[in-house]
Amino acid sequence: MVRLSVNVNKVATLRNARGGEVPDLLAAVRTILGAGCRGITVHPRADQRHIRRVDTIAIAAELEPLRDSVEYNIEGDPRPDLIDLVCQLRPHQCTLVPVKPGEITSQAGWPADTSPHEIGAIVRRVQAQGVRVAMFVDPEDAPIRWAAALGADRIELYTEPFAVAFAAGQGAAAAARYGAAAELAHGLGLGINAGHDLDLDNLVLFRGLPHLDEVSIGHALISRALFVGLDTVVREYLDLLAAH
């Protein structure tokens, strides 16, 4: 079964909009786990506009007793303070994502012409702490081969283009493109994660991606939770993934 990792950034966004501690981020994590999910993702940005450093640490402490059964994924750009935090907390996975100044959310995967020297050293440093490293990439040959050459453990396929194509009635063609990317990555020894704009509609098609290990879903899941509740929507996603 494909693993679901719930990105809780949007819970922190809502909290930060008013200040204080409501909604309680750790209560959200407990609800997600209580619904049967076994993965939590955070993306602490440098401006701390949603997940903060203190949140990242608090969630790590909450999950530590469950380390054998619940995976913690910290994603973000490879800035020194975040890499230091990852090495301190030693989550199961670190997903390295390129960040463009001023972006609201991720806009693309790593370019294949990114110099491998500095980022390769970061990958090795994180792996030395026993942390799996995934590189956020587009479904194209060059960046997938670049990630493999870095020595990454997995890729995370950037799926907004798939979601856009699906909404336009072109999901099958997009799925074929992502399928080819997944086959290439698998052949190079990489595990395969995916995320960005996946939801209950397009995931019905995307869940069939060959060799898919994990999907990370935040915005769509938390948005639906406003109407049906967090426990219910997590169970909906888990049931959808289990039905494949």
Strand partners, 194: 157, 215
Residue 104 has pLDDT above 70, yes or no: no
Lowest mean pLDDT among 93-97, 108-112, 142-146: 108-112
Q: Are 234 and 11 in contact (CB under 8 A)?
A: no
At 49 the pLDDT is 86
Confidence of residue 244 (pLDDT cuts 50, 70, 90): confident
Distance of CA 61 to the CA centre of its chain: 20
Name residue 195's amino acid.
G
pLDDT tens digits, 147-171: 999 999 999 999 999 999 999 999 9
CA distance 89 to 126: 11
At 240 the pLDDT is 98
> Measured between alpha carbons, how far is residue 80 from residues 49, 70, 74, 179 in Å?
18, 26, 14, 34
pLDDT tens digits, 22-75: 999 999 999 999 999 999 999 999 988 899 999 999 999 999 999 999 999 999
pTM for the model: 0.95
Which positions are annotated as active-site residues?
43, 75, 196
How large is the angle between the packed helices 230-242 and 25-34, nearest 10 degrees? 40
CA distance 79 to 13: 21
pLDDT tens digits, 175-212: 999 999 999 999 999 999 999 999 999 999 999 999 99
User: DSSP labels for the chain?
Assistant: -PEEEEE-HHHHHHHHHH-TT-S-HHHHHHHHHHTT--EEEE---TT-SSS-HHHHHHHHHHHGGGTTT-EEEEEE---HHHHHHHHHH--SEEEE----TT-SS------TTS-HHHHHHHHHHHHTTT-EEEEEE-SSHHHHHHHHHHT-SEEEEE-HHHHHHHHTT-HHHHHHHHHHHHHHHHHTT-EEEEESS--TTTHHHHTT-TTEEEEEE-HHHHHHHHHH-HHHHHHHHHHHHHT-
What is the average pLDDT score of the chain?
96
